[in-house]
Structure 1
Amino acid sequence: MSDPATNPATPEAVFGKEAVAAALADHAAVKGLEAFIVDAKWDRNELTLTVAPESIVEACKAAQASGYNFFEDCTCVDWFPTEPRFQVTYHLLSHKLKQRIRLIARVHGDTPSIPSITSVWPAANFYEREVFDLFGVRFEGHPRLTRIMMPDNWNGHPLRKDYPVEGYR
């Protein structure tokens, strides 16, 4: 997280911490998701809300009820060797509000698992399969969690930072 004293481009430095906190409190997504938010960050006119992995389905339902009607994508970041190792990121859009939000959930690396949001947004199906295939994060309750890019007999998950790159063609 950047320090407003050293980075004058942060919203806190330009508007003040109180103004940013007030803007966050007044944001439609924050109002609907306040029960699930672990952390919030407003940077470069983008809102990122961190939620607990076990609450992701409820958070997505709350975002949908708040007017975020479009699921854009789901992706993952491997922060190896840091724990929690994986950051699963969801981008949501509200056509009515003309706003985007980013929901992130941090998942531990020993047995990475998070509930599937395909019951809320069926379009998450292939994105979750891709994250499973390339990072090894399991989406519990997914209707068909199988590999989508790599061959079915492939060992490992190639976008993990500790994936061995020697010996593959």
Structure 2
Amino acid sequence: MNKLDNTYLWKKLGSKFGADVSRLADDYDLLTVNVHIDTIHAVLTFLKHDTELQFIHLTDITAVHYPLQEKAFEIVYHVHSLIHNIRIRVKVQIDGIHPEIPTATTIWKGANWMERETYDFYGIQFLGHPDLRRILNVDDMEVFPMRKEYPLEDPNRVDKKDLYFGR
């Protein structure tokens, strides 16, 4: 095989993990897969340590909050194979009542601050993280600002009234 592409990568993941991995998209030459939470650690470990794939660079970990869905949070990993110059996006859905997922710091040391940031803004608990505490917000903050649980504007604001805009 000369060049690693998304088709080959998907076949390799599908044959290794079966129904625990599903293909979501291939937009902009970026393969996006959905992984069951029970196999996320195994999939990420496989991507990094497989001698053929070599996804050694964790670019980002973030989350998305969908408050109206049953599984309210989606954790998103962006991983890059510098050897083959190919990227993959790995998504995992978790419930919103007790959002927790295994840490990726045992795979990539650089996941430490990315997971702390995701915890700080979304309240996702990364199980096994060596130092999970706030990194950007104040320590005594009791809310997670990126959750879509709060109104976008103060309903008591007077400068947004229609009469000020001729309506």
Give the TM interval when normalised to the shorter protein: 0.7 to 0.9
Query: Residues 30 and 144 (structure 1 numbering): CA distance in 2 closer, same or farther, change over 3 Å?
Result: farther
Q: Describe the superposition over 1:2-61 as per-residue Cα deviations: whole angstroms up to 9, x where unpaired.
A: xxxxxxxxxxxxxxxxxxxxx75522x641464164311222211001111222211111
Corresponding residue of 1:81: 68
User: Aligned match of 2:136 in 149, 164, 167?
Assistant: 149
Q: What is the SS of the residue equivalent to 2:148?
A: coil
Structure-2 residue corresponding to 1:113:
100
- Structure 1 residues without counterparts, runs of 5 or longer: 1-22
Counterpart of 2:123 (choices 129, 136, 150) is 136
C-alpha distance 111-145 of structure 1, shift in aligned 2 (>3 A): same
Q: Partner of 2:164 in structure 1?
A: none
Matched with 1:31 is: 12
TM-score by length of 2: 0.79
Secondary structure of the residue that 1:35 maps to in structure 2? helix
- Whole-Å separation in 1 of the counterparts to 2:120 and 2:150: 13
Deviation, 1:90, is 0.5
Pairwise CA distance, 1:123: 0.1
Give, in angstroms, the shift of residue 76 of structure 1: 0.6
Answer yes or no: is the 8 Å Cα contact 2:6–2:29 preserved in 1: no
Give the alignment's Cα RMSD to 1 decimal.
2.0
Q: Whose radius of gyration is greater, 1 or 2?
A: 2
Q: TM-score, normalised by structure 1?
A: 0.78
How many equivalent residue pairs?
A: 144
Counterpart position of 1:62 = 46
Identity across aligned pairs (percent)? 31
